[in-house]
Structure 1
Amino acid sequence: MNEGAFELFKLVSDGFCCSQIMMKLALDMEESENEDLIRAMGGFCDGIGGTQKECGVLTGGIGIIGLYAGKGKAKEWTKEDYGSMVREYMDWFEERFGSLECVDLIGVYRFEDENNRSYPVKCGDTILESFGKIQEILQEHGYELGSRE
């Protein structure tokens, strides 16, 4: 098992969903923690609020782009390339995986834990590939994942 797959296994075992895992991977690269941000990303679990609509890997990736190029305080604006990076990621994601929606991507490949919380079994490769694409997009636009300073 490669290091990335092992890290995903640990995060899923700890109860994190796809959107949270995407953000946690980005924060881990910075060697930082932000429990409030990880909690907030929980709203995107299981396809936005459990609706199986927009995929958590997609929304988590967009959140990472926002972490680097989004507005975070008064008198600050999103970076000029924010929208184009989001569109590039969304277009790539839909072309690569055939849909933006969780239900289309995972079908019936799910299991439930003792808290009746469901987790997709099929998402590991999607997360790893998408996280790599986010790194690529950020790098192409002059950002380095792991360094926001």
Structure 2
Amino acid sequence: MENAFVEKARENHEKGYNCAQSVACAFLPVLSIDESTLFSVMEGFGGGMGGNEATCGALSGAVAVASLLTSSGKVENLTKAKTYELAKQMVELFEQRTQSLVCKELKGTESGVALRSCPLCIEDAVLIAQQVLHIE
């Protein structure tokens, strides 16, 4: 059986969502945020941070999910360390799997050798988020 979160992320990307939006919005069933707000927040993270081909948008989407699930939304509740710990785990696992965190390296923009396609980065980010955040 297909993974529902991966399938939703794929559908999102096929509809024109950027990589960050595709990943983050796939997790709407477990988040306390509406799609329009999450879509808007994630918009600038696409294309490797505003089209700069820097940090992979799919990974940014996964980290956003961790933040939304972990943060209390209040500085005095001291959730930052836990959120950072989860984000660090995701970054490390993503880099191990894809060999880079950088969009232009993943897509092979400068080298001509793609390490990973956007659809595969999206799938990787979803699976890693599920693993680290224990989402089934």
* TM-score normalised over the length of structure 2: 0.78
Report the counterpart of residue 36 of structure 1 in structure 2: 37
2:131 to 121, 136, 140: 136
Aligned residues of 2:55 and 2:101 also touching (Cα < 8 A): yes
Map 1:1-149; keep pairs closer than 5 Å: 7-29=8-30, 33-73=34-74, 75-78=76-79, 80-108=81-109, 122-139=117-134, 144=135
User: Which structure 1 segments of 5+ residues have no match?
Assistant: 109-120
Aligned residues of 2:44 and 2:50 also touching (Cα < 8 A): yes
Displacement, 1:40? 1.1
Number of residue-to-residue matches in the alignment? 128
**In the superposition, relative to structure 1, how do residues 3 and 93 fare at CA in structure 2: closer, same or farther (>3 Å)?**
closer
Question: Structure 2 CA distance, aligned partners of 1:11 and 1:86?
Answer: 23
User: Which structure 2 segments of 5+ residues have no match?
Assistant: 110-115
Aligned residues of 2:9 and 2:25 also touching (Cα < 8 A): no
Match of 1:51, SS? coil
Same amino acid, percent of matched pairs: 25
* TM-score normalised over the length of structure 1: 0.72
Question: Structure 1 CA distance, aligned partners of 2:75 and 2:85?
Answer: 22
**In the superposition, relative to structure 1, how do residues 71 and 49 fare at CA in structure 2: closer, same or farther (>3 Å)?**
farther
Determine which structure has the larger helix proportion and give its number. 2
Range moving further from structure 2, 126-135 or 47-56: 126-135
Question: Structure 1 CA distance, aligned partners of 2:127 and 2:107?
Answer: 20
Query: Could you say what the CA RMSD is over the residues aligned between the two structures, in angstroms?
Result: 2.6
Instruction: For 1:72, give the aligned amino acid.
Output: G
Determine which structure has the larger strand proportion and give its number. 1
Match of 2:53, SS? coil
The structure that has the greater radius of gyration is: 1
